[in-house]
Structure 1
Amino acid sequence: MHKIGCLTALLLLLTVDLQAAALDTAAAESRNLPREYRLDGLVEAVNRTTVSAQTQGQVEEILYDVDDYVDKNAVLVRLKDTEHRTRVTQAAADLKSATARLQQANDEFARVEGLYKKKNVSDSAMDQATANLTGAQAELEAATARLEQAQEQLAYTQIRAPYSGIVTHRHVQLGEIASPGAPVMSGISLDELRVIVDVPQSVIPSVRGGAKKGTLARVYLPDGQAIETNKITVFPFADLGSNTFKVRIDLPAETSGQLRALFPGMFVKTGFVVGEKRELTVPKAAVVQRSEITGVYVITEGDHVHFRQIRLGRVLPDAYVVLAGLTEGERVALDPIAAGALLKSQAPMRHAGAEEQGHD
């Protein structure tokens, strides 16, 4: 009976080992990866504007306030435009008068020119008609310019948004007199963002060299995703107090969907490629979280399954960098759920097998 029990236990162990052998696995492997120098960066909007009044007038209507979203060319503030409309009306009347005078001067010039060709008027009369026509043309041009100026000043009474964005400050109140140059509203656009980083003097040669070669910089979002870009601008001077150089990272417009997680004023992690180093990696599918422990299921010799705690480094598109807990070449299960089930069934069966062998 003991031999039958032992044989049964061995068969069970063999079944478990065969199941372990059937698991999809991958080896922990070392790769030559870009060596990153990480720093904190500050997100800022590319478009930050304070809209000012371009003509004088009383604030009659305020259509937006702080934190409101504004479309491009939307009217932010209306100024009282009674005086400006009066000027437009007067300028339009002056233009009609100048047009009539030009027509009269044209008719007079044509009449005098006909008589002059027949030698019926003097040279002075012809010169006078020419001068009157030139003066009428100049008066018409001046009247046209005055009308355009009056219409432009009238348009300035409607203060519009230069681009779509969010209002951050409102600088006027109803009833105030807005003067040319006086700030009215401030706003930012979230469509185009960039990150400003203070880079130590010792690192700046590598960053500047990488920028010339088109080497990528990374901006890490709060959810762990990374945006890569080669649009790097290194400022040509250092801060006197900290001996750091400002570096500007422009975020590509095609990542606008990802940029919704970023807002001006936020701190984010950035990474600059400053060389290469060899690091150990495992596929993302192999890493599992058990309570507060991060680990992988390691398949050892004999197709035994073991759970191994590891310490992870940075995240790659298809893998994790492993800082501790694994060595190169060790096999890890790519299906942690199946590997966990095998581990639970493997332990009691092996224990049973050991007991049977002891009784025998």
Structure 2
Amino acid sequence: MLTRSLLFLLSLVIAGGAAAEPPATSLPTTTAEYHSIPREYRLDGVVEAIQRTTVSAQTQGQVEEIRYDVDDYVEKGAVLVKLRGTEHRARVTQAAADLKSATAKLEQTRDEYERIKGLFAKRNVSESQMDETAADLKAAQAAKESAMAQLEQAQEQLSYTEIRAPYSGIVTHRHVELGEMASPGTPIMTGVSLDELRVVVEVPQSLIPAVRSGGDIYVYLPDGERLAVTDVTVFPFADMGSNTFTVRLRLPVGTKALFPGMYVKTGFVTGEQRELVVPQAAVVYRSELTAVYVEDDDGRLALRQIRAGRVIDDGIVVLAGLDEGERVVLDPIAAGRLIKAQAAPATGDHEDD
């Protein structure tokens, strides 16, 4: 019985010594260091379509057919609305007949001119007759040109009865109903193009010199992707109330996931600053806790809460909770398992006691 008690006490001493000197973790670590990173000023911007158009009627006619409605996607050149074109087709027919008559008259006059010209060469007709025939020929040519212009005008007016989309886009408003009478200038449909977008930002006066000097500018998409913007327009005047300048950032053609009216974050680089940075892989997120596993000089691990800043490349800026030179574990999952494994024997001894 005494021997068994001594053995139990000896085992507690051995376990206590093992807990006081934990083995080295051998996990990969890195040192928290200061880096020179761009100083970025973030502002909210609003996405808007560069091409936003209200298509209007260019001739008079009753709305005969409506082929698209709100939220429909329309290809460039597609017929949006068709007006009744009976009267316009009649004018085209009349103009074509007038052109045919003028052409026949011109041919007859030209033949007459050639005949008189031959007689005049033989001195069989007077010079006044020759001049009169030449004038008739010019008049016939002018009549044909006038008839051709009338036909072109009538055809153009007929083409206006088919109101077409000036570019590919989405219909946002429809202003007419079937059977209404449309006149020149009557709004028909409003649409926007999603292929060409821009972001409008109100920039404080203090940042305008950096913007004008060509500093880097970014637009952040909803999925976190960052787009570099090179086509920048700065309004040459400030708002009297807020002393801010309107800046337009043109997005690359075909940018996805953005729609007119959305709010997005923009970043204006105004210089450089030194920030404490750790690799993104070293940061662990548990509910509302943001932390890293820190290894001390004795190889002990501890979970340390930090206040994280923005993400840069493959690193995260640490605003508080960590000092320069401290070692952080690059594999948080392995670090958590190791801490649990080290704590398990101590928990078991307490329960046996």
For normalisation by structure 1, the TM-score amounts to: 0.87
Out of 329, 335, 345, which is 1:333 matched to?
A: 329
- For 2:3, the equivalent position in structure 1 comes to none
What stretches of structure 2 of length at least 5 have no aligned partner?
Answer: 1-6
Letter in 1 for 2:331: D
- Give the letter for the 2:151 counterpart: L
Once residues 13 and 105 of structure 2 are traced to their aligned partners in structure 1, the CA distance between those partners, rounded to angstroms, is 124
Query: Residues 347, 7 of structure 1: CA spacing in aligned structure 2 closer, same or farther, 3 A cutoff?
Result: closer
1:299/1:306 contact within 8 Å kept? yes
Task: Give 2:98's match in structure 1, choosing from 88, 94, 99.
Answer: 94
CA contact (8 A) 1:58 1:177 kept: yes
CA deviation map 1:140-186 (0-9, x unaligned): 11111111111111111111111111111111111111111111111
Which of 286, 296, 299 lines up with 1:300 in the alignment? 296
Q: 1:272 aligns with which of 265, 268, 287?
A: 268
Partner of 2:62: 58
State the distance in 2 between where 1:149 and 1:9 align: 104
Q: 1:358 — aligned with what?
A: none
Displacement of 1:92: 1.0
Return the offset for 1:113: 1.7
Partners in 1 of 2:299 and 2:75 — Cα distance? Answer: 63
Residue 8 of structure 1 and its aligned partner are, at CA, apart by 12
Deviates more, 1:186-195 or 1:116-125: 116-125
Distance in 2, matches of 1:163 and 1:299, equals 61
1:167 to 168, 171, 175: 171
CA distance in 1 between partners of 2:95 and 2:205 (Å): 62
How far has the Cα of 1:306 moved from its partner?
2.3
**Counterpart residue number, 1:215:** 215
SS in 2 for 1:180: coil
Q: Which residue of 1 aligns with 2:226?
A: 226
Sort the Cα spacing of 1:4 and 1:267 in 2 relative to 1 into closer, same or farther, 3 A: closer
The change in CA–CA distance for 1:337 and 1:125 in structure 2 (over 3 A counts) is same
8 Å Cα contact 2:278-2:318 kept in structure 1: yes
Encode CA deviations 1:76-120: one digit per residue, 9 max, x unaligned.
Answer: 111111111111111111111111111112211222222222222
CA 3–91 in structure 1, closer or farther in 2 if over 3 Å, else same? same
The aligned residue for residue 285 of structure 1 is 281
* Higher alpha-carbon deviation: 173-182 or 77-86: 173-182
Which residue among 1, 4, 14 is the counterpart of 1:6? 14
Question: Is 2:60–2:182's contact at 8 Å kept on the other side of the alignment?
Answer: yes
Matched with 2:311 is: 315
> Based on CA coordinates, which of the two structures has the bigger radius of gyration?
2
CA distance in 1, matches of 2:344, 2:17: 10
Alpha-carbon deviation of 1:310? 1.5
For residue 226 of structure 1, what is the amino acid of its counterpart? R
Query: Offset at 1:137?
Result: 1.4
Judge conservation of contact 1:215–1:230 (CA < 8 Å) in 2.
no
Structure 2 counterpart SS, 1:90: helix
CA distance in 2, matches of 1:99, 1:57: 31
Q: Which runs of 5+ in 1 are unaligned?
A: 356-360
Q: Measure the CA separation in 2 of the matches of 1:289 and 1:88.
A: 74
Percent identity of paired positions between Structure 1 and Structure 2: 63
Question: What amino acid is aligned across from residue 82 of structure 1 in structure 2?
Answer: T
CA distance in 2, matches of 1:314, 1:244: 25
Residue in 2 that maps onto 1:82: 86
- Asked if the contact 2:201–2:248 (Cα under 8 Å) also holds between the matched residues in 1, the reply is yes
Structure 1 residue 49 displacement after superposition: 0.6
User: Following TM superposition, by how much is the alpha carbon of 1:298 offset from its aligned partner in structure 2, in angstroms?
Assistant: 2.3
**CA RMSD, aligned part only?**
2.5
Instruction: State how many pairs are aligned.
Output: 342
1:339-350 matches, cutoff 5 A: 339-348=335-344
CA contact (8 A) 2:215 2:270 kept: no
**Aligned residues of 2:57 and 2:188 also touching (Cα < 8 A):** yes
* Correspondences of 1:174-213 after superposition (within 5 Å): 174-209=178-213
User: Which moved further from structure 2: 67-76 or 194-203?
Assistant: 194-203
Going from structure 1 to structure 2, the CA distance change for 1:86 and 1:7 (only over 3 Å counts) comes to same
TM (normalized to structure 2)? 0.89
Q: Is the 8 A contact 2:36 2:273 kept in 1?
A: yes
